[in-house]
Amino acid sequence: MHINENYRNLKESYLFSNIAKKVSEYSAAHPQAKLIRMGIGDVTLPLPKATVDAMVEAAREMGKRETFRGYGPEQGYGFLKESIAAYYARRGVMLDEHEIFVSDGAKSDLGNILDLFTEENVALIPDPVYPAYVDTNIMAGRRVLYMEANEGNGFLPLPDYAVDADIIYLCSPNNPTGAVYGKAALSAWVEYAHAKSAVIFFDAAYEAFIADPSLPRSIYEIPGAKSCAVEFCSFSKIAGFTGTRCGYTVVPKGIMNGELNRMWLHRQTTKFNGVPYIVQRGAAAALTEEGFGQCMANISYYKENARIMAEALESLSIWFTGGKNSPYIWLRCPNGSKSWDFFDTLLKEANVVGTPGAGFGNNGEGYFRLTAFGNREATVEAMERIKELLG
């Protein structure tokens, strides 16, 4: 037996499990503490009513012989793929339904799609970044290069033609920084990908939070992207499916004359048995006029939380980005604090849990992420505690 030695190259502790350990230890020692969690980006509002109704009806169907369904198509039922295609079409992006693959979430697909590429391919990943991008490439033994994201470039790095890469990771709105690429910047990345014969992995999980109509919500709003970019999206944030699990990946037939699309279809039909029918009915309902309105009402709630958070930080003269078009606030740690030191200060002195920027990469040191996914009362109280601590 020979294990995959690349796993030895992973960091010992995953960011969020390390946070959980610290919080658990503090809670055990201080059981009276009322902690407010603004760290992990999990939603707190319930599923939209239209989604719940659709799932209940689908469950009833599964209880009747004449409407029971067994194995479904691994790439998703036609009714959901049609709904996703129509969702894109409303924004002027036309997709073939055979380019849409339904899955249990963007995170899974972002890791699984690496099956299609050899370890010789070089991955170009922004720093700071969502840790899973890096770890999945390290697991595969792939070389990782980093693009510098910092205050100077608004945490939105642009291509450097002196760097050669094969797989490019972009996330917009970005996790953890909340920064959003404009059309000119994404056009530059598409041009770079074509010049380098590279593929872009575009993580659009937070696209529904973009309020500014001038900002692209899909990379396919950029000319030429359909021949170089794979887009990953999820119902986790738009419809609250973090615990329900449903997402999708778009693999255009314009990439490698359709070969990548055929390979992904083969991979999914071999290694994946599809998302449950009941869940897919709920996801489709979220994209109806009624369901989408309910989804956007939930998103508006979170965006108001972000506004409250931003207002508090502005009153303290703390630099930050994100919030307006994203559920994340990325702030500079006060008084030059290190990320984990600020984490400990907030935890112990304000009983507020956030995410240290250092956990997202070297360029995250000295920064901190807060999420707007909490309930209103807790968000208000957390920001009052932070103002009292830092004011």
- The three-point CA angle 284-289-290 to 5° equals 90
Q: Which of 18, 111, 118 is nearest to 347 (CA)?
A: 18
Q: Is residue 322 part of a domain?
A: yes
**In which domain, by residue range, is 348 found?**
15-44+291-390
User: Is a pLDDT exceeding 80 seen at residue 13?
Assistant: no
Question: Are 258 and 143 members of one domain?
Answer: yes
DSSP state of 172: S
DSSP state of 46: P
Question: Are 278 and 139 members of one domain?
Answer: yes
pLDDT in tens, 148-167: 999 999 999 999 999 999 99
pLDDT (average), residues 266-277? 97
Instruction: Specify burial of residue 325 (Cβ count, 10 A radius: 0-12, 13-18, 19+).
Output: buried
Question: Are 35 and 117 members of one domain?
Answer: no
**Count of the separate structural domains present in the chain:** 2
What is the model's pLDDT at position 16?
Answer: 83
pLDDT in tens, 357-387: 999 999 999 999 999 999 999 999 999 999 9
Instruction: Give the CATH number for residue 74.
Output: 3.40.640.10
Q: Is residue 155 part of a domain?
A: yes
What is the model's pLDDT at position 14?
Answer: 74
Question: Are 246 and 295 members of one domain?
Answer: no
Local confidence band at 44 (pLDDT 50, 70, 90 cut-offs): very high
Model pTM score:
0.96
**Encoded tokens for 124:** 């170009």
DSSP state of 346: I
DSSP state of 323: S
Question: Are 62 and 20 members of one domain?
Answer: no
112 contacts 161 by C-beta, under 8 angstroms: no
Question: Are 283 and 354 members of one domain?
Answer: no
Question: Are 264 and 318 members of one domain?
Answer: no
Strands 229-234 and 328-332: unpaired
Q: Is residue 9 part of a domain?
A: no
Question: Are 242 and 383 members of one domain?
Answer: no
206 contacts 177 by C-beta, under 8 angstroms: no
Phi, psi of 36 (to 5 degrees): -115, 120
Question: Are 192 and 276 members of one domain?
Answer: yes
- The three-point CA angle 315-319-321 to 5° equals 110
Question: Are 302 and 283 members of one domain?
Answer: no
**Percentage of the chain modeled with pLDDT above 70:** 99
Question: Are 264 and 355 members of one domain?
Answer: no
As a whole number of angstroms, the distance between CA 265 and CA 251 comes to: 9
pLDDT (average), residues 318-343? 96
Say which residue, 209 or 14, is predicted with more confidence: 209
Question: Are 281 and 300 members of one domain?
Answer: no
In 3-state terms the chain splits into helix, strand, coil percentages (rounded to 5) of: 50, 15, 40
